[in-house]
Structure 1
Protein backbone atom coordinates (compact mmCIF):
# COMPACT_ATOMS: atom_id res chain seq x y z
CA UNK A 1 0.00 0.00 0.00
CA UNK A 2 1.49 3.34 -1.03
CA UNK A 3 2.18 5.81 1.77
CA UNK A 4 0.86 9.34 1.58
CA UNK A 5 2.42 12.72 2.25
CA UNK A 6 0.86 12.45 5.69
CA UNK A 7 2.29 12.23 9.20
CA UNK A 8 0.31 10.92 12.19
CA UNK A 9 1.40 12.38 15.52
CA UNK A 10 0.21 11.16 18.92
CA UNK A 11 0.84 13.66 21.70
CA UNK A 12 -1.40 14.79 24.54
CA UNK A 13 0.13 18.30 24.59
CA UNK A 14 -1.59 20.47 21.99
CA UNK A 15 1.15 23.12 22.31
CA UNK A 16 3.52 20.54 20.86
CA UNK A 17 1.09 20.07 17.97
CA UNK A 18 1.26 23.79 17.20
CA UNK A 19 5.05 24.00 17.41
CA UNK A 20 5.79 20.98 15.21
CA UNK A 21 2.94 21.93 12.88
CA UNK A 22 4.40 25.42 12.31
CA UNK A 23 7.91 24.01 11.90
CA UNK A 24 6.77 21.36 9.41
CA UNK A 25 4.82 23.99 7.47
CA UNK A 26 8.07 25.95 7.06
CA UNK A 27 10.00 22.85 5.97
CA UNK A 28 7.34 21.41 3.63
CA UNK A 29 3.86 22.95 3.46
CA UNK A 30 2.62 19.95 1.47
CA UNK A 31 2.97 17.59 4.43
CA UNK A 32 -0.32 16.93 6.19
CA UNK A 33 -0.03 16.47 9.95
CA UNK A 34 -2.86 14.51 11.58
CA UNK A 35 -2.96 14.60 15.37
CA UNK A 36 -4.16 12.12 17.97
CA UNK A 37 -4.40 12.90 21.69
CA UNK A 38 -3.09 9.50 22.76
CA UNK A 39 -1.85 6.16 21.48
CA UNK A 40 -5.27 4.56 21.58
CA UNK A 41 -6.70 7.28 19.32
CA UNK A 42 -3.74 6.87 16.96
CA UNK A 43 -4.32 3.11 16.63
CA UNK A 44 -7.99 3.82 15.84
CA UNK A 45 -6.91 6.32 13.17
CA UNK A 46 -4.53 3.77 11.64
CA UNK A 47 -7.34 1.22 11.41
CA UNK A 48 -9.63 3.72 9.70
CA UNK A 49 -6.98 4.96 7.29
CA UNK A 50 -5.93 1.39 6.45
CA UNK A 51 -9.46 0.64 5.30
CA UNK A 52 -9.39 3.87 3.25
CA UNK A 53 -5.99 2.89 1.77
CA UNK A 54 -4.55 6.14 3.07
CA UNK A 55 -1.80 5.28 5.57
CA UNK A 56 0.71 7.88 6.76
CA UNK A 57 4.33 8.01 5.62
CA UNK A 58 5.51 8.51 9.20
CA UNK A 59 4.22 8.16 12.76
CA UNK A 60 5.49 10.37 15.59
CA UNK A 61 4.86 9.26 19.17
CA UNK A 62 5.23 11.11 22.44
CA UNK A 63 6.41 8.83 25.25
CA UNK A 64 4.21 10.04 28.10
CA UNK A 65 0.58 9.85 27.06
CA UNK A 66 -2.60 8.67 28.77
CA UNK A 67 -4.27 5.37 27.77
CA UNK A 68 -1.29 3.98 25.83
CA UNK A 69 2.26 5.22 26.33
CA UNK A 70 4.54 5.78 23.37
CA UNK A 71 6.22 2.45 24.02
CA UNK A 72 2.91 0.58 24.23
CA UNK A 73 1.66 2.28 21.05
CA UNK A 74 4.91 1.48 19.24
CA UNK A 75 4.58 -2.15 20.29
CA UNK A 76 1.03 -2.32 18.87
CA UNK A 77 2.04 -0.66 15.60
CA UNK A 78 5.06 -2.89 15.01
CA UNK A 79 3.09 -5.97 16.07
CA UNK A 80 0.49 -5.40 13.35
CA UNK A 81 1.46 -6.60 9.86
CA UNK A 82 -0.62 -3.81 8.31
CA UNK A 83 1.41 -1.06 9.99
CA UNK A 84 4.80 -2.54 10.89
CA UNK A 85 6.56 -1.00 7.88
CA UNK A 86 5.51 2.57 8.68
CA UNK A 87 8.52 4.40 10.15
CA UNK A 88 8.03 5.57 13.75
CA UNK A 89 9.92 8.36 15.49
CA UNK A 90 9.71 8.87 19.25
CA UNK A 91 9.43 12.58 20.11
CA UNK A 92 9.70 13.16 23.83
CA UNK A 93 10.99 15.21 26.74
CA UNK A 94 11.95 11.94 28.41
CA UNK A 95 15.58 10.92 27.98
CA UNK A 96 15.44 7.64 29.88
CA UNK A 97 18.20 5.49 28.33
CA UNK A 98 16.42 2.22 29.13
CA UNK A 99 13.18 3.42 27.52
CA UNK A 100 15.10 4.76 24.52
CA UNK A 101 16.84 1.39 24.02
CA UNK A 102 13.50 -0.42 24.31
CA UNK A 103 11.97 1.83 21.63
CA UNK A 104 14.80 1.06 19.21
CA UNK A 105 14.45 -2.66 19.96
CA UNK A 106 10.73 -2.41 19.17
CA UNK A 107 11.45 -0.79 15.80
CA UNK A 108 11.57 3.00 16.23
CA UNK A 109 13.85 4.58 13.63
CA UNK A 110 14.75 7.60 15.78
CA UNK A 111 14.30 9.07 19.25
CA UNK A 112 14.21 12.87 19.23
CA UNK A 113 14.16 15.20 22.21
CA UNK A 114 11.49 17.87 22.11
CA UNK A 115 13.07 21.19 21.17
CA UNK A 116 13.65 24.19 23.37
CA UNK A 117 13.46 26.76 20.53
CA UNK A 118 11.69 27.24 17.22
CA UNK A 119 14.97 26.87 15.29
CA UNK A 120 15.44 23.45 16.95
CA UNK A 121 11.86 22.63 15.92
CA UNK A 122 12.74 23.43 12.31
CA UNK A 123 15.70 21.03 12.47
CA UNK A 124 13.50 18.31 13.95
CA UNK A 125 10.88 18.89 11.24
CA UNK A 126 13.62 18.52 8.61
CA UNK A 127 14.72 15.24 10.20
CA UNK A 128 11.12 13.99 10.17
CA UNK A 129 10.61 15.06 6.56
CA UNK A 130 13.73 13.22 5.39
CA UNK A 131 12.12 9.91 6.35
CA UNK A 132 9.87 9.89 3.27
Structure 2
Protein backbone atom coordinates (compact mmCIF):
# COMPACT_ATOMS: atom_id res chain seq x y z
CA UNK A 1 0.00 0.00 0.00
CA UNK A 2 2.68 2.50 0.98
CA UNK A 3 5.67 3.12 -1.21
CA UNK A 4 8.98 2.46 0.45
CA UNK A 5 11.23 5.49 0.58
CA UNK A 6 14.01 5.16 -1.96
CA UNK A 7 16.44 7.16 0.15
CA UNK A 8 16.05 6.64 3.89
CA UNK A 9 18.80 9.12 4.62
CA UNK A 10 16.94 12.19 3.36
CA UNK A 11 18.08 14.42 6.17
CA UNK A 12 19.76 17.73 5.48
CA UNK A 13 23.05 18.61 7.09
CA UNK A 14 22.23 21.56 9.33
CA UNK A 15 24.30 24.65 9.89
CA UNK A 16 23.40 25.54 13.50
CA UNK A 17 24.12 28.81 15.27
CA UNK A 18 24.25 28.08 19.01
CA UNK A 19 23.97 31.19 21.18
CA UNK A 20 24.98 30.07 24.66
CA UNK A 21 27.23 31.63 27.30
CA UNK A 22 27.65 28.46 29.41
CA UNK A 23 30.58 26.43 28.07
CA UNK A 24 29.25 23.23 29.70
CA UNK A 25 26.06 23.57 27.64
CA UNK A 26 28.12 24.18 24.48
CA UNK A 27 30.14 21.03 25.20
CA UNK A 28 26.92 19.04 25.83
CA UNK A 29 25.49 20.02 22.46
CA UNK A 30 28.73 19.27 20.61
CA UNK A 31 29.05 15.95 22.45
CA UNK A 32 25.46 15.04 21.59
CA UNK A 33 26.00 15.76 17.91
CA UNK A 34 29.32 13.90 17.87
CA UNK A 35 28.14 10.82 19.77
CA UNK A 36 24.97 10.60 17.68
CA UNK A 37 27.10 10.79 14.53
CA UNK A 38 25.02 13.66 13.20
CA UNK A 39 26.63 15.54 10.29
CA UNK A 40 25.65 19.00 11.51
CA UNK A 41 27.95 22.02 11.74
CA UNK A 42 27.79 24.13 14.91
CA UNK A 43 28.78 27.79 15.00
CA UNK A 44 29.12 29.11 18.54
CA UNK A 45 28.38 32.57 19.91
CA UNK A 46 28.67 33.35 23.61
CA UNK A 47 26.29 36.31 23.58
CA UNK A 48 23.58 37.95 21.51
CA UNK A 49 25.75 40.80 20.25
CA UNK A 50 28.37 38.35 18.98
CA UNK A 51 25.67 36.33 17.22
CA UNK A 52 24.24 39.43 15.53
CA UNK A 53 27.71 40.43 14.34
CA UNK A 54 28.11 36.97 12.81
CA UNK A 55 24.64 37.03 11.21
CA UNK A 56 25.27 40.46 9.70
CA UNK A 57 28.70 39.51 8.36
CA UNK A 58 29.34 38.03 4.94
CA UNK A 59 29.34 34.50 6.42
CA UNK A 60 26.83 31.96 5.18
CA UNK A 61 23.68 32.12 7.32
CA UNK A 62 22.77 29.21 9.57
CA UNK A 63 19.79 26.95 8.86
CA UNK A 64 18.55 27.21 12.46
CA UNK A 65 19.43 29.11 15.62
CA UNK A 66 19.47 27.51 19.07
CA UNK A 67 19.16 30.31 21.62
CA UNK A 68 19.56 30.41 25.38
CA UNK A 69 17.36 32.96 27.16
CA UNK A 70 19.55 33.70 30.17
CA UNK A 71 22.54 35.63 28.91
CA UNK A 72 24.29 38.78 30.16
CA UNK A 73 23.70 42.18 28.51
CA UNK A 74 21.37 41.16 25.67
CA UNK A 75 19.11 38.36 26.90
CA UNK A 76 17.44 35.91 24.54
CA UNK A 77 14.18 37.84 24.23
CA UNK A 78 16.00 41.09 23.36
CA UNK A 79 18.05 39.14 20.78
CA UNK A 80 14.84 37.71 19.30
CA UNK A 81 13.25 41.15 19.03
CA UNK A 82 16.33 42.46 17.21
CA UNK A 83 16.44 39.41 14.92
CA UNK A 84 12.74 39.55 14.02
CA UNK A 85 12.99 43.27 13.17
CA UNK A 86 15.71 42.57 10.59
CA UNK A 87 14.30 42.05 7.07
CA UNK A 88 17.03 39.59 6.11
CA UNK A 89 17.28 37.58 9.34
CA UNK A 90 13.70 37.43 10.57
CA UNK A 91 12.90 34.20 8.73
CA UNK A 92 15.66 32.15 10.39
CA UNK A 93 14.02 29.42 12.48
CA UNK A 94 14.95 30.14 16.09
CA UNK A 95 14.47 27.54 18.80
CA UNK A 96 14.81 28.47 22.45
CA UNK A 97 16.99 26.01 24.37
CA UNK A 98 16.80 27.01 28.03
CA UNK A 99 16.28 25.94 31.63
CA UNK A 100 13.38 28.39 32.07
CA UNK A 101 9.95 26.80 32.32
CA UNK A 102 8.46 30.20 33.19
CA UNK A 103 5.17 30.60 31.29
CA UNK A 104 5.80 34.34 30.95
CA UNK A 105 9.10 33.61 29.12
CA UNK A 106 7.45 30.99 26.90
CA UNK A 107 4.61 33.35 25.92
CA UNK A 108 7.01 36.27 25.31
CA UNK A 109 9.12 34.12 22.99
CA UNK A 110 6.18 32.83 20.98
CA UNK A 111 4.81 36.38 20.67
CA UNK A 112 8.09 37.47 19.07
CA UNK A 113 7.98 34.55 16.64
CA UNK A 114 10.06 31.56 17.69
CA UNK A 115 9.92 28.19 15.96
CA UNK A 116 10.08 26.18 19.20
CA UNK A 117 10.79 26.22 22.92
CA UNK A 118 12.78 23.36 24.47
CA UNK A 119 13.51 23.10 28.17
CA UNK A 120 16.90 21.54 28.87
CA UNK A 121 16.48 18.39 30.95
CA UNK A 122 18.76 17.84 33.93
CA UNK A 123 19.76 14.28 33.01
CA UNK A 124 22.26 14.06 30.15
CA UNK A 125 20.50 11.01 28.65
CA UNK A 126 17.22 12.98 28.44
CA UNK A 127 19.08 15.93 26.94
CA UNK A 128 20.52 13.69 24.20
CA UNK A 129 17.07 12.29 23.36
CA UNK A 130 15.46 15.75 23.19
CA UNK A 131 18.25 17.26 21.11
CA UNK A 132 18.42 14.35 18.71
CA UNK A 133 14.64 14.60 18.13
CA UNK A 134 14.89 18.36 17.65
CA UNK A 135 17.75 18.10 15.15
CA UNK A 136 16.12 15.17 13.33
CA UNK A 137 12.94 17.23 12.92
CA UNK A 138 14.75 20.29 11.55
CA UNK A 139 16.96 18.22 9.28
CA UNK A 140 13.79 16.93 7.57
CA UNK A 141 12.35 20.42 7.01
CA UNK A 142 12.67 22.42 3.84
CA UNK A 143 14.82 25.33 4.93
CA UNK A 144 15.60 28.65 3.31
CA UNK A 145 18.97 28.54 1.59
CA UNK A 146 20.76 31.87 1.64
Pairwise TM-score range, normalised by the shorter structure? 0.7 to 0.9
Quote the Cα distance in structure 1 between the aligned partners of 2:28 and 2:14: 19
Matched with 1:8 is: 17
Correspondence for 1:24: 33
Structure with the bigger percentage of helix? 1
Larger Rg: 2
**Distance in 1 of aligned mates of 2:100 and 2:14:** 28
Unaligned runs of 5+ in 2: 1-11, 140-146
Q: Calculate the aligned-residue CA RMSD, in Å.
A: 1.7
User: Where does residue 58 of structure 1 map in the other structure?
Assistant: 64
1:88 counterpart = 2:88: no
Does the Cα contact within 8 Å between 1:61 and 1:91 map onto a contact in 2? yes
Instruction: Tell me, in whole angstroms, the C-alpha distance in 2 between the residues paired with 1:28 and 1:47.
Output: 30
Matched residues in 2 for 1:93 and 1:17: separation? 14
Offset of residue 29 of structure 1: 2.9
Q: 2-side partners of 1:28 and 1:55: how far apart?
A: 23
Where structure 1 has 5 or more consecutive residues not aligned to the other structure, the ranges are none
Is the Cα–Cα contact under 8 Å of residues 13 and 39 in structure 2 kept in the other structure? no
Q: Could you tell me the TM-score, scaled by structure 2's length?
A: 0.80
